[in-house]
Amino acid sequence: MSIAISLSAAHRVIAAASHWYHQPTEPLYLDRVLECHDFIYLAKGQWMITENSTDYLLEEGDVLLLASGHHHYTRLPCAPDTRTMCLHISGEKEDVPGAPHILMLPSLIHARGSAAVKQRFEEIVDGAWRQDRHREERLSALFRLLLFDLADIAEAENNPHAILADQVIRVLRESPHRKVRLAELEQMLNTSDRAINRAVREKTGMTFTQYQTTLKLDMAAQQMRLEPEVGLREIALQFGFYDEFHLSKSFKAHFGISPSDYRKESVRK
């Protein structure tokens, strides 16, 4: 099953808390139909939770997204020493599959190993108990970040090459001043050049070499727009080109316009 969350709706964090079940729960510990969405992060232990007639076995690091208006219950006790973090999120009328700006997420997301997801839950639980004049706005912002983190993990589960592509792209973005070589990435990411090229092509439609060059040129163009006073030679060195002549030639081949003319057009706009 899946859950629909509208990115255009203003979802509220109604409640958030951590729970520790030192002893196994009663079999029918949960038996409810909520008017809100229920996001559960299993920090430790094991628990089977059912939505309507679908059983979900949660293990450490899993996230279960239960939709408002559905029957949620447990048929079996949780394991001893189970720990969860639970968020009650307002269900909005826009949360309908097919609606504009809708985000469809699977009900069960294996977020094991994702420090970001765990941190988001901890921040929301902590923030829900704070007396802060910006509490509601802060919680809504953290919830949106959590949604995007979960969407990234769900996408990666459906596409095993997506994680590798994201790792490669992150290295390139963090090293704009130099040319990153495939052999370096092979060793860093413990993979092959073939796997890297395949992953980057699936993600961007370009080979690794093409994407690295395109990324550098896009970064250079952005700096030309934002800081027109910076010299072309300095920009070339910042983004791993031999000199301003190498940058100019590559820039014109990619954008169909010279850097000087590009700057003039940017100023006019």
What is the domain-level CATH number for residue 93?
2.60.120.280
- Collapsed DSSP state (helix, strand, coil) of residue 175: coil
- Domain end call among 114, 136, 154: 154
Q: What phi and psi values does residue 92 have, to the nearest 5 degrees?
A: -110, 155
87 in the same domain as 148: yes
Distance of alpha carbon 59 from its chain centroid, rounded? 21
166 in the same domain as 108: no
- Domain end call among 125, 154, 183: 154
Alpha-carbon gap, residue 28 to 100, rounded angstroms: 37
103 in the same domain as 17: yes
pLDDT band at residue 155 using 50, 70 and 90 as cut-offs: confident
pLDDT over threshold 90, residue 168: yes
User: What integer pLDDT is reported at residue 268 of this predicted model?
Assistant: 66
Strand residue runs (E) in the chain: 2-6, 13-21, 31-33, 36-44, 46-51, 54-59, 62-66, 71-73, 82-90, 102-106, 108-110
127 in the same domain as 17: yes
pLDDT over threshold 70, residue 269: no
Alpha-carbon gap, residue 195 to 205, rounded angstroms: 14
Question: Which pTM value belongs to this model?
Answer: 0.71
Alpha-carbon gap, residue 140 to 89, rounded angstroms: 10
- Domain end call among 101, 126, 154: 154
Alpha-carbon gap, residue 114 to 194, rounded angstroms: 26
Report, as an integer, the average pLDDT of 203-221.
94
Task: List, as one string, the DSSP characters of 67-81.
Answer: -TTSEEE-SSPPPTT
Kindly list the distances between the CA atom of residue 48 and the CA atoms of 29, 42, 107, 134, in Å, as whole numbers in the listed order: 11, 11, 13, 36
117 in the same domain as 60: yes
The 46-51 sheet, strands edge to edge: 31-33, 71-73, 46-51, 54-59
Q: What's at 258, amino acid-wise?
A: S
Domain that holds residue 186: 162-268
The rounded mean pLDDT for the chain is 92
108 in the same domain as 90: yes
User: What integer pLDDT is reported at residue 265 of this predicted model?
Assistant: 82
Q: What's at 63, amino acid-wise?
A: V
Element (H, E) at 173: helix 160-174
140 in the same domain as 185: no
Domain count, the chain: 2
